[in-house]
Amino acid sequence: LESKASLVKVIPKSESPAETIAAYQLLRKWLEDFLGDDWKKHVAVTTEPARGILRPYAQAENLAAFDVPPAVGGRYSVTCPVGTLPLAFAEVDLENLMAGARKANQTAQQPAAGNLPAQTALIQDLLMRKGMNIWVFMPYSTRLRYLPDWFVQLHDESLGKTKDKQGNKVRVGTTAVRAVGTTDQHAQVQLFREGPHDKLLTMIRLEHPDQDLEIPVVKGLESLDYLFGRNFFDLLTAEAKATAHALAKAGQPNYTITLERLDAHNLGWLLQHLMWQTAFLGELWNINAFDQPGVELGKEYTYALMGRKGYEKLAAELKAEGVE
């Protein structure tokens, strides 16, 4: 990395995971070693306006600072500065991204017959009641290969809960699994098709590519001439359709969301659709889809084990339980 051309963006919402702060401390030292006092021009903090753990630090060091709305959890923060600032640096069209998100908002407020996120949430709910508690998210796009990582956090952290909205004990949630086509056709689809029928698969594919290559004619491979002159996108689309139908023939539930193309508008729509879908599932299961109490305890244990002030009692409790 070139320090003069780098910006370090640190995002502790309120209390931050220890690893986030540790990574920031390392990168700040790197910037300071190479840039001296100019390091401050290469750091941006995104945190809550009042409770953010780095808000006083950013003010004291005169760092650029952006707000995370207090009511917005990290996994839902794609369309606030947590997500939009790096997208802006990547030259993504933010106006079109937000227009796509607003379109998803409009759909989510329609009656059920025209409300796609409510429908996909209901599919998951009905299948869960039949014992299908795994949700595989599988885009057929290299450019979307990291989207399942976010979806896994969005789904699992929002919906795995031990208390309902009234405080009653429950044990609810389904497990999201990451997959990418076509890679996972050769890694996981064997299990999906012939293993336990405990899964719902959601596939994402495109109607039109943003770029494509023609498969050339190669002398000596005439037995494979069905590929000659076709495009790679044709092959990718055929494999997505074939996999979906093969799974259906085996009795494995799946559905496909088709985007016209992968651009800022459609990406904004897809992200917002998935967040609405998660919120609807929270309502169907009568749980709070916007907190993560199970994560917070692990953070506190980490603070205690690392010797953070104020966690001495918890450290002693852990030691008594054989954890030190």
What is the chain's pLDDT, residue by residue, as a tens digit (324 residues)?
899 999 999 998 766 678 889 999 999 999 999 999 999 999 999 998 887 788 999 999 999 999 988 888 889 999 999 999 999 999 999 999 999 999 999 999 999 999 999 999 999 999 999 999 999 999 999 999 999 999 999 999 999 999 999 999 999 999 999 999 999 999 999 999 999 999 999 999 999 998 999 999 999 999 999 999 999 999 999 999 999 999 999 999 999 999 999 999 999 999 999 999 999 999 999 999 999 888 888 889 999 999 999 999 999 999 999 999
Q: Does 121 share its domain with 162?
A: yes
Report CA torsion sign: 199, 162, 68, 55. negative
CATH of the domain at 28: 3.40.50.10490
Q: Which of 142, 9, 187, 148 is nearest to 82 (CA)?
A: 9
208 an active-site residue? Answer: no
The catalytic residue among 13, 157, 161, 265 is: 157
Active site residue 186: yes
Residues 207 and 257 in one domain: yes
The number of C-alpha atoms within 13 Å of 309 and in the hemisphere containing its C-beta is 0
Residues 149 and 183 in one domain: yes
In a domain, 304, yes or no: no
For residue 306, being part of any structural domain is answered with: no
Q: How many helices and strands, by DSSP H and E, does the chain display?
A: 11, 9
Q: Among residues 2, 91, 186, 313, which one is catalytic?
A: 186
Q: Which of 15, 163, 299, 300 is catalytic?
A: 299
Residue 60 shares a structural domain with residue 109: no
With b for 16 or more beta-carbon neighbours within 10 A and e for fewer, the 52-71 pattern comes to: bbbbeebeeeebebbbbeee
User: Is 197 an annotated catalytic residue?
Assistant: no
Within 207-308, strands assigned E span 254-259
Backbone angles phi, psi at 166, to 5 degrees: -95, 0
- Say yes or no: 140 and 231 in one domain: yes
Whether residues 60 and 137 share a domain: the answer is: no
* 43/111 same-domain check: no
23: Cβ contacts below 8 Å, ≥ 6 apart: none
What's the rounded Cα separation, in Å, for the pair 13 and 9?
12
pLDDT at position 70: 86
Tokens (6 digits) for 122: 């209901």
Residues contacting residue 219 through CB under 8 Å, at least 6 positions apart: none
Are 70 and 47 a contacting pair, CB within 8 Å?
A: no
In a domain, 244, yes or no: yes
Quick check: is 131 in a domain? yes
Cα separation, 94 vs 100, in Å, equals 10
Assigned domain for 167 exists: yes
Q: Which domain, by its residues, includes 11?
A: 1-70
Tell me, yes or no, whether 278 lies in a domain. yes
Beta bridge partners of 172: 161
Closest CA to 257 of 242, 274, 278, 233: 274
CB 43 within 8 A of CB 76: no
In a shared domain, residues 125 and 212: yes
Residues 255 and 176 in one domain: yes
Note the pTM of the prediction, 2 decimals: 0.92
Are 79 and 97 in contact by the 8 Å Cβ rule? The answer is yes
Strands (E), 164-266: 169-172, 175-178, 199-206, 254-259
Cα 168 to chain centroid, rounded: 29
Number of domains comprising the chain: 2
